[in-house]
Structure 1
């Protein structure tokens, strides 16, 4: 198997949390406002930066005695511009940001990091010396910045990497100029500890398919499978997939992350409850909502039976409500001047690719110092 089932877990988490949330906070997310002051959008849309050239360099950076990370480093000729550091979500790699990072580099510099255990980074099996907890991943990010001589940054994290964003900003406030949460949850610890499917439909058609042996028979078959289960496909998504594949002698493929590593990181992330109180800089929180069942269940055919149609519609409505509440709770916990924007219709996996121009505009409009 090479396609982690994290999106289904995220749906369960949000649905489970839907009934345990103060309804009054919902108003905070309507209209995208969560405070005022230096973090405001200012004039929108802002003037885009002058076009520059940007060159990407692939690096390997030692972050522990026997752990090196794959880092993609886009640099432009805008010396003194903003440095953006991008952290991929669970199971993804630095390549997932190939398009967004190239655009951000026009503003100065952009760095994307494949965390330990994934992509082209080293993958030590988890033990006392090689943990996969949030503090270790945050330390790894700090070591990358130290190795590259980078000072203050705008730190962005997709999905569960929001844990790292919050922890890094709390531990190293002097290094943080701004924060971007790319469709991340308020707190992942409220998920069902045993991984049970509470809040998930019993209809098997609504469960994200796993690849068969035929889907793993070759690189081309793996790409075809992922195209079928995603609503859209793009060059960054394909590059991310290729970074995650191990090609065997017979041409078949498998996930290059050991199952033990995947399990250890997933468990550790679920045990980390973010503390937003130490944050001192405004954050931009971007949220996605599916517009219809094709956004939430893209593997379903256009025509389905009435029972599955109803189950999908019910799940869609529950998820939309839960996601809206969760986004409002995140916004309420962030420092004054933080702002939230919801993209709908949009997909969790690729919204910052599909809506890149709007994402860039929102980042440009943040008055980070």
Structure 2
């Protein structure tokens, strides 16, 4: 579809930015449950402002995360119009049906869910952003529903996850530690554990963690998402190969690169043995050589008008929180 028709279908090509003489927009958030399939309702956070002529941003969290991960970025985007963050099926406060012939966790099903949310909310056109593995959903949605998309935001995504080495192929010396029974004894001890194994910690990350957990009668906690769901979604996501030829709107490609091992392996102690130190340094050098090449492939596959930017030093999990001001400036510069 020609770009002019796409913009017309989306209600024009204005940027939705806040003018210098307008009062600051007010933003309110509503938590919703939206039925997307028989027996499956999703938790949706909906930030709305009094900028009724602005852009609606829809944000999809990366694998394992949920809508709360965008508690900082989303209200900032909502000042430009509206922002909606969706916890996909199986995660956060959304329903968690076990995988079977009816309940699937492949990229196609997750995109169907996003479309069902937009239909339920009566949202005709969006800028769609996805973090990490959710980049698959961004690309597929843009190809399947071109009339609904005016722009895309790729938040540190791979070009094709089916060609990316899995984390279980990394050195065991660098593996992120699992919480111990002492860590899962209470919600507060679990939060303390994750504060130790992350370089940064924020209210958004804490809210995301809380929505991942189930509090047990004895006060202990466990993961709320069954392993079978995590496995099904991970396998489907890493098997999906996106078709960028169907994307006809410009995208903003954002990449996070580590500066040192605190960015990539924040759980490692300050002092390491020689073998672990060497493994960490080699992993960072390899990542910083290969990752920009992968990003370049993604950027080259997108239509004219797309932009790219790299944040370094940065961490994959929270670069869009830590660098929010710069990211918002880039989004405003897209002219959507």
Query: 1:174, CA displacement in angstroms?
Result: 0.3
1:91 & 1:223 partners in 2: Cα distance? 16
Instruction: Give the deviation of 1:305 after TM superposition.
Output: 2.2
Q: Name which of 191, 210, 220 aligns with 2:188.
A: 220
1:111 to 70, 84, 107: 84
The alpha carbon displacement at 1:267 in A equals 0.8
Displacement of 1:256: 0.3
Aligned residues of 1:205 and 1:300 also touching (Cα < 8 A): no
Whether the 8 Å CA contact 1:180–1:285 is kept in 2: the answer is: yes
Determine which of 252, 258, 261 is the counterpart of 1:293.
Answer: 261
**1:366 match:** 334
Match of 1:329 in 2: 297
Residue aligning to 1:65:
38
Aligned ranges 1:129-140 → 2 under 5 Å = 129-140=102-113
> 1:120–1:243: 8 Å Cα contact kept in structure 2?
yes
Give the structure, 1 or 2, with the largest relative contact order (CA under 8 Å, sep 6 or more): 1
Out of 152, 174, 196, the position equivalent to 1:179 is 152
Scaled by the length of structure 1, the TM-score of the pair is: 0.84
Contact 2:256 2:311 in 1 (8 A): yes
Deviation at 1:47, TM superposition (A): 7.2
TM-score, normalised by the number of residues in structure 2: 0.92
1:226-241, aligned counterparts within 5 Å?
226-241=194-209
C-alpha distance in 2 between matches for 1:309 and 1:132 = 38
Q: Note closer, same or farther for the CA distance 1:323–1:80 as it changes in structure 2 (3 Å cut).
A: same
Aligned-CA RMSD value: 1.7
Within the alignment, does 1:161 sit opposite 2:131 as a pair?
A: no
**Pairing partner for 1:148 from 116, 121, 128:** 121
Give the conservation status (yes or no) of the 8 Å contact 1:59–1:71: yes
Match status 1:308 vs 2:276: yes
Task: For structure 2, list consecutive stretches of 5 or more residues without a partner in the other structure.
Answer: 1-6, 8-17
Contact kept, 8 Å, 1:214 with 1:221, in 2: the verdict is yes
How much does 1:51 deviate? 1.9
Aligned partner of 1:357 in structure 2 is: 325
Judging changes above 3 Å, is the alpha-carbon distance between structure 1 residues 186 and 270 closer, same or farther for their aligned structure 2 residues?
same
Q: Deviation above 6 Å: which 4+ runs of structure 1? A: 46-49
The yes-or-no answer on 1:95 pairing with 2:68 is yes
Residue 309 of structure 1 and its aligned partner are, at CA, apart by: 1.8
Residue aligned with 2:183, SS: coil
Unaligned runs of 5+ in 1: 1-37, 39-45
Matching residue of 1:170: 143
- Tell me how far apart the structure 2 counterparts of residues 361 and 47 of structure 1 sit (CA, whole Å): 14
